[in-house]
Amino acid sequence: MTALISIISLFSIGLYVVLLIYLRIGWAKVTMGPVVANSVHTKVTVLIAARNEEEKIHLTIEDILAQDYPKHLLEIIIVDDHSTDNTAAIISSYAAQGVKLLQLKLGETLNSYKKKAIAEAIKLSTGDLMVATDADCRMGNQWLRTIVGFFEQNDLVMISSPVTYFQEQSVFERMQTLDFSSLIGMGGSFLGHGFAATCNGANFAYRKDVFYEVGGFTGIDDLASGDDELLLHKVAERHPGRIGFLKRREAIVYTHAKPNLKEFIQQRRRWASKSTKYKNKKMVAFALSIWLCNFMLLFTAVLGIFNIYFLKLFLLTIGIKYAIDLFYMTPIMNFLKRRELLLYVSFVLPLNVLYFVIIGFLGKNKKYAWKGRVVK
């Protein structure tokens, strides 16, 4: 039994090393010079689904209105998803500046209100390129021009752009920023290899006609989340090689980490629930490989309490994981100009192992809380 556990443990960490080297190479492949966007001609619709966002939504709206983008080519549609606060009133106050409010008033109970909100906004839209973000996000004034310039120069049908946390108030939030950055980097790295694996709906653009071509959210609308990643997979099947990752700082969208452990766990359960809909065998194999590596680390750590051999095995494999995580994360954090957060790798590592294993199990339990609702 000892030999078998050792073989599985060393195999899993070896596979993990190979995968992260693969991702590091993919990240390096996504290199580009400045996006030339002196002249743009694409009509853009910025889409936001909002629910109880009265605290920050005015900042998001102000940032979008401040974009260095031709006003006649910009449409802003914000869907109020049954808010119980002043969100709708705040959105309405910007009507004179062209911000359109669509209030979602549904009699029936849905599981995916956000997908419904986005689909209804797209029906109302007049733009050719849909650019989705969230109601608590911030962006620089070159955000839209950079996305559209990249879109027009490369004949793409879908664009994933970087998202990061900012204005952290605690060590816990800074640790989340490091962990979240690894996921954003993963999406870019895979696209560097031409494989559409993951993205983030807070900074996601796609052609309106392609959304309808793939049937919109049909087939994935039974799941509350997945308005980004599962749609990405649908489009990738139809248009392989025409999805890009915009690795430019001007295109970064900024949002906030979760303030406490409870909200963090709910967020990760929501993200993990999407894995039940994965159809691509490569993506399933990748997710299982990462989970196996973390499980074996946790397993050998527990065995190490009773047996010095397993303690040594754990220390060896956790040391390898630390080194390869640092190797993978360094260029990503350099891009985000948050290199100082690499100091938290040693703190994030053991917690990452623990929550990754736990979330892997919890993700199968489909119900979780999101925006004041229990969904699945």
Show the domain range for 15.
Answer: 2-27+280-365
Give Cα 137 to chain centroid, integer Å.
13
pLDDT at res. 31: 75
- What is the value of pTM for the model shown? 0.89
The CB density around residue 355, as the number of other CB atoms within 10 Å, is 18
- Do 164 and 216 lie in a common domain? yes
pLDDT at res. 270: 76
Give the single-character DSSP code of 199: -
Are 365 and 273 in contact by the 8 Å Cβ rule? The answer is no
- Do 44 and 77 lie in a common domain? yes
- Do 98 and 182 lie in a common domain? yes
pLDDT at res. 371: 58
pLDDT at res. 64: 98
Are 124 and 100 in contact by the 8 Å Cβ rule? The answer is yes
- Do 39 and 71 lie in a common domain? yes
Residue 270 lies in a domain: yes
Are 81 and 134 in contact by the 8 Å Cβ rule? The answer is no
Domain's final residue, options 277, 306, 339: 277
% of the chain beyond a pLDDT of 70: 90
pLDDT at res. 15: 96
Residue 370 lies in a domain: no
Residue 44 backbone dihedrals phi, psi, to 5 degrees: -115, 140
Q: How does the average pLDDT of the chain come out, rounded?
A: 89
- Say how many CA atoms lie within 13 Å of 299 toward its Cβ: 15
pLDDT at res. 118: 94
- Do 214 and 321 lie in a common domain? no
- Do 255 and 273 lie in a common domain? yes
pLDDT category at 363 given cuts 50, 70, 90 is low
Lowest mean pLDDT among 78-87, 183-192, 293-302, 352-361: 352-361
Residue 129 backbone dihedrals phi, psi, to 5 degrees: -115, 120
- CA gap 65, 341 in Å, rounded: 32
How many helices and strands in the chain, by DSSP H and E? 12, 12
Q: Is the pLDDT of residue 315 over 70?
A: yes
Residue 372 lies in a domain: no
- Do 195 and 302 lie in a common domain? no
Residue 132 lies in a domain: yes
Give Cα 308 to chain centroid, integer Å.
40
- Do 9 and 58 lie in a common domain? no
Torsion of CA 223, 253, 64, 227, to 10 degrees: -10
Domain's final residue, options 277, 306, 337: 277
- Residue-wise pLDDT tens digits, 160-182: 999 999 999 999 999 999 999 99
Residue 371 lies in a domain: no
pLDDT at res. 337: 96
Q: Is the pLDDT of residue 365 over 60?
A: no
Q: Is the pLDDT of residue 141 over 90?
A: yes
Q: Is the pLDDT of residue 278 over 80?
A: no
What is the DSSP secondary-structure string of 227-279?
A: TTHHHHHHHHHHSTT-EEE---GGG-EEE---SSHHHHHHHHHHHHHGGGG--
- Residue-wise pLDDT tens digits, 48-57: 999 999 999 9
| pLDDT, average across residues 123-149 | 96
Domain's final residue, options 228, 245, 277: 277
Residue 322 lies in a domain: yes
- Do 286 and 324 lie in a common domain? yes
pLDDT at res. 284: 81
Our count of domains for the chain comes to 2
Higher pLDDT residue, 55 or 272? 55
- CA gap 223, 239 in Å, rounded: 23
- Do 214 and 287 lie in a common domain? no
- Residue-wise pLDDT tens digits, 224-248: 677 889 999 999 999 999 999 999 9
- Do 100 and 221 lie in a common domain? yes
- CA gap 199, 29 in Å, rounded: 17
pLDDT category at 366 given cuts 50, 70, 90 is low
- Do 271 and 302 lie in a common domain? no
- Residue-wise pLDDT tens digits, 71-120: 999 999 999 988 999 999 999 999 999 999 999 876 655 557 888 899 99
Residue 375 lies in a domain: no
What burial class does residue 39 get, using C-beta atoms within 10 Å of its C-beta: 0-12 exposed, 13-18 middle, 19+ buried? exposed
Residue 373 lies in a domain: no
